[in-house]
Amino acid sequence: MLEKAKREGKKEGITVTGDLDEGTFTGSVMLGKVEGTYKVSGTNLKVEVTKKPFLIGEGMLQKVISEFFEE
């Protein structure tokens, strides 16, 4: 799961670092810089966006980052 997240993130210009329990992501997208954290608890994934371009919705970014971790 983590290797897939790193691979998928890299395709989008986002670096995922950490382990299977928690970590961070950072990168540049078309409209600016993106940063945040992720935490896995059992089968639940929590994505928190701490920095994003103004014109991109937080919910959309959370969804995209979450998809990196889907099996």
Tokens of 17: 């670092």
pLDDT digits (tens, 9 = 90+) for 20-57: 999 999 998 878 899 999 999 988 999 999 999 888 88
Check: pTM over 0.85? Answer yes or no: no
Query: What distance in Å separates the CA atoms of residue 68 and residue 40, rounded to the nearest whole number?
Result: 13
Segment (H or E) for 38: strand 32-41
Tens of pLDDT, residues 52-63: 988 888 898 888
Report the distance separating Cα 52 and Cα 29, nearest Å: 9
Predicted confidence (pLDDT) at residue 1 exceeds the cutoff of 90: no
Query: Around Cβ 12, how many Cβ atoms within 10 Å?
Result: 15
Region 14-21: mean pLDDT is: 94
Cα–Cα distance, 14 to 51 (Å, whole number): 13
Q: Are 47 and 35 in contact (CB under 8 A)?
A: no
